[in-house]
């Protein structure tokens, strides 16, 4: 397989020269639309999962809660990513617009005029399952990154809370 660009500098120059400065913002609309529900779902699911965890396994005072935070964070990542994944798919497909020639070796290549056209074509040609193509690897990433994010968040909150109590 031949590379299209020999280095990053050449890629940036060529993209800017051929498509203008807005080429670097492809996929921004679905990204902005998706970030608010994704972040909101992460926190609300995390809180709900922590409550469910405590209901199923009541705290006994001996546990630190680190495993609970990690597991509930992982679950939160999976749920929020699944619910917002179609917007992530749209973002990625809009970002690779303009590389149809380079992608032709990978199979069928479609052209999209924007977010709504993309959504309509996915539904028409791929069905509702098309909105979730590539979800599995994305769920692995979301589970790990969100799980560790909440693990470290809670760990440092508890650490700083203890430090503040000792200063009094």
Domain residues for the domain of 139 are 8-167
Report pLDDT for 84. 94
Report pLDDT for 139. 97
Residue 1 in any domain: the answer is no
Residue 3 in any domain: the answer is no
**Per-residue pLDDT tens digits of the chain, which is 168 residues long:** 445 788 999 989 988 998 899 888 887 887 888 899 999 999 999 999 999 999 998 888 777 789 999 999 999 999 999 999 999 998 888 877 665 555 555 566 677 888 899 899 999 999 999 999 999 999 999 999 999 999 999 999 988 887 765 555
Report pLDDT for 72. 97
Residue 55 in any domain: the answer is yes
Residue 133 in any domain: the answer is yes
The pTM of the full predicted model, rounded to 2 decimals, is: 0.75
Residue 80 in any domain: the answer is yes
Residue 139 in any domain: the answer is yes
Report pLDDT for 162. 72
Residue 138 in any domain: the answer is yes
Residue 2 in any domain: the answer is no
CATH code of residue 27: 1.50.40.10
Report pLDDT for 81. 97
Using alpha carbons only, what angle is made at residue 141 by residues 139 and 144, rounded to the nearest 5 degrees? Answer: 105
- What domain count does the chain have? 1
């Amino acid at each position: 397989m031949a590379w299209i660009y020999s280095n990053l500098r050449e890629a940036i120059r060529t993209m800017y020269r051929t498509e203008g400065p807005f080429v670097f913002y492809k996929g921004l609309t679905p990204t902005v639309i998706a970030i608010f529900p994704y972040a909101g779902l992460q926190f609300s699911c995390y809180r709900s999962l922590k409550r469910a965890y405590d209901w199923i396994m009541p705290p006994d005072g001996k546990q630190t809660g680190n495993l609970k935070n990690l597991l509930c964070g992982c679950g939160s990542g999976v749920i929020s990513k699944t619910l917002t994944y179609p917007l992530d798919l749209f973002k990625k497909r809009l970002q690779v617009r303009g590389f149809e020639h380079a992608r032709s070796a990978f199979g069928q290549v479609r052209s999209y005029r924007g977010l709504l056209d993309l959504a309509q074509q996915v539904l028409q040609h791929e069905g509702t399952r098309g909105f979730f193509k590539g979800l599995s690897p994305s769920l692995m990433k979301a589970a790990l990154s969100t799980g560790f994010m909440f693990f470290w968040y809670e760990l440092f909150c508890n650490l700083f809370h203890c430090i503040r109590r000792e200063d009094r």
